[in-house]
Amino acid sequence: MTPRHAVAGIIVAAASFVSVACGPPPAPDPPLPEIVEKAIAYHGGDLYERARMTMTISSLSGSFRIEATRNGGAFDFVVINPAQGERPERRVQLTNEGVTEWIDGVESELDEEGVRRATAFVNARVFFPLLPYTLKGDDVLFEDRGLDRWEGRDLHRMKVTFNPGTSNDADDAYTFWFDPETGRIEQFGYDFDNGLRYRRAISFERVNGVLFSDQDNYAVDGGKVPVDTLTPDYVASTMRLLSTVRISEVTVEPL
């Protein structure tokens, strides 16, 4: 599965932080929709900008470890995919200075394609657990769909797309459903070349001020199915429960 995980707050932030070191400061991010601002504040607010977070993400495909640090303009993301069977441990670190990869503790020599793949490996795994903060960025386009009825609740529906050419997966689209009062992300979906995914939060945990959630992950595989297809009836009649994504061993250390 290769949906567009690497968006906005990761790729754009990386490019912006590098440009700080190499030239004039980047332009500020464009204003966010009110519900997205509310969501970021509710989920963790300024802690996303100045904290070290660690966690383990587990799902059907296995588990991996994330160490994510931001301190103002500096960032340091490490993703560790542990050894399993004949597969070696893979550790990738993405910082303002660039990306480094180790296989079983031995640093890899990365060509241009290797750098792209290693960067995407980190972005793909950091994006989801740091939502909604990762919706910040000047390549993100929002389309407010208003209130949408799901299982007896009115949720604020927001479609998210991306400027063409800003990443390998810029053609993919997301939809988020927020609690209209708090901004909490209740569910989201995204389309990609091989199908459609829908994630629904099943439990929440706030760790030292930052909110995380476990999610049931529903799927339709095959050709691309537009994210606008998602309705309660469509999920119930057409999608299958693929996995449950769990976040555990979470630490949050404010800086």
| In the chain, where the domains are located | 8-254
Whether the per-residue pLDDT at 222 is higher than 90: the answer is no
Burial 203-242 (b: 16+ CB within 10 A, else e): eeeeeeebbbbbbebbebeeeebebebbeeebbeeebeeb
Whether the per-residue pLDDT at 16 is higher than 80: the answer is no
Average pLDDT, integer, range 61-80: 94
**pLDDT the model gives residue 165:** 55
According to DSSP, residue 167 is labeled: S
Question: Given pLDDT bands bounded at 50, 70 and 90, which one contains residue 40?
Answer: very high
**pLDDT the model gives residue 170:** 52
Strand, helix or coil for residue 157: strand
The answer to whether 163 and 216 are in contact (CB under 8 A) is no
Q: pTM for this structure?
A: 0.85
Average pLDDT, integer, range 221-232: 93
Whether the per-residue pLDDT at 138 is higher than 90: the answer is no
As to burial, measured by CB atoms within 10 angstroms (0-12 exposed, 13-18 middle, 19+ buried), residue 10 is buried
**pLDDT the model gives residue 142:** 96
**pLDDT the model gives residue 218:** 98
Quick one: tokens of 107?
Answer: 């640093």
The answer to whether 3 and 125 are in contact (CB under 8 A) is no
For the ranges 19-23, 73-77, 239-243, the lowest mean pLDDT is seen at 19-23
Q: What is the mean pLDDT of the chain?
A: 88
**pLDDT the model gives residue 71:** 95
The answer to whether 195 and 223 are in contact (CB under 8 A) is yes
Whether the per-residue pLDDT at 221 is higher than 90: the answer is yes
Q: What is the pLDDT of residues 173-213, one digit of tens each?
A: 999 999 999 999 999 999 998 899 999 999 999 999 999 99
Percent of residues, the chain, with pLDDT higher than 70: 85
**pLDDT the model gives residue 25:** 57
Whether the per-residue pLDDT at 22 is higher than 50: the answer is no
Class of domain 8-254 (CATH, top level): mainly beta
**List of residues 6+ apart from 240 with CB closer than 8 A:** 218, 219, 220
